[in-house]
Structure 1
Amino acid sequence: MKQQQKTAGCPVEVTLSIVGGKWKLQIVYCLLNGTKRFGELRRLIPATTQQMLTLQLRELEQAGIIHRQVYAQVPPKVEYSLTESGRSLEPIVYQIHAWGEWYCEQNNIEYWQLSDNMEDHGIRV
């Protein structure tokens, strides 16, 4: 049986503790289009460091948002995909994306660099 954890605060605090920060929702966004290897995620999110991406992936894995599949081969192969819990974030992530586009348009902010990079890798923006 799954042990329940008590957490102080409201559901928004809990949610932000799991997917908050600069990189986690971007990682989830990239994985909505399918399984990715670490190098692919690095190319899709070039502003993050290797160390930070590794840390964020570990935290998302511990929270049950992503699945890390390690293949026993040389060189090592690791793939990341969304779990069912991670997949449930899809409508929220797309809504945040839409709001971000709207906000950029309202405030004359260019966001093309990230969008172009993701479209080059087959990710819907």
Structure 2
Amino acid sequence: MKKSYCPIDTFINVIKGKRKGTIILHLFQGKKRYNELTKLMPDISERMLTKQLKELEEDGLINRTVFPEVPPRVQYSLTPLGHEIHPVLKGMYKGGMLFENRIEAEG
């Protein structure tokens, strides 16, 4: 995570990426395994999902827990910081819906 000139830019730089906001919103609903996330987001490749999960973990927004089982079981959850940004992402979701409604009305 790198600090920007403006806190808004810092926030956007951390959550920008293919479906990072969506991943956080899904994890706000509760812990998820990797396969659950792939089913919730079928339009993202597994490679890209893995990349986004690693970046979110590096930025301190999600936890990755590996259970010592055969085969290994991995579970993702939000950190306290991930929970703190949920209201902001929910607001962005609502803002996106406003724009989508306008686009549909114009089209």
Whether TM exceeds 0.5 here: the answer is: yes
- Provide runs of 4+ in structure 1 moved above 6 Å: none
Aligned residues with identical type, % of pairs: 36
2:76 aligns with 80
* Greater helix share, structure number: 2
1:20 equivalent in structure 2? 16
* Structure 2 residue runs without a partner (length 5+): none
Choose the corresponding residue for 1:53, options 34, 49, 55.
49
The answer to whether the 8 Å contact 2:28/2:78 transfers is yes
Q: 1:31 aligns with which of 7, 27, 30?
A: 27
Residues 2 and 10, structure 2, Cα contact 8 Å, conserved in 1: no
Work out whether 1:104 is the aligned partner of 2:100: yes
Q: 1:7 aligns with which of 3, 8, 31?
A: 3
Q: Which residue of 1 aligns with 2:87?
A: 91
Count of aligned pairs: 105
Aligned mate of 2:62, from 41, 63, 66: 66
Amino acid at match of 1:54: T
Partner of 1:120: none
> 1:46-94 deviations in whole A, cap 9, x for unaligned?
1111111001000100110000010000111000000000001111111
Report the TM-score when normalising by structure 1: 0.77
Amino acid at match of 2:40: L
CA RMSD of aligned residues (A): 1.7
- Cα 1:43–1:11 shift into 2, 3 Å: same
Q: Deviations over 1:1-46 (max 9, x none)?
A: xxxx973422122112211123111110111100000011111111
Please state whether the residue corresponding to 2:64 is helix, strand or coil: strand
The alignment's TM-score, normalised by the length of structure 2, stands at: 0.89
Q: 51-60 vs 21-30, which deviates more?
A: 21-30
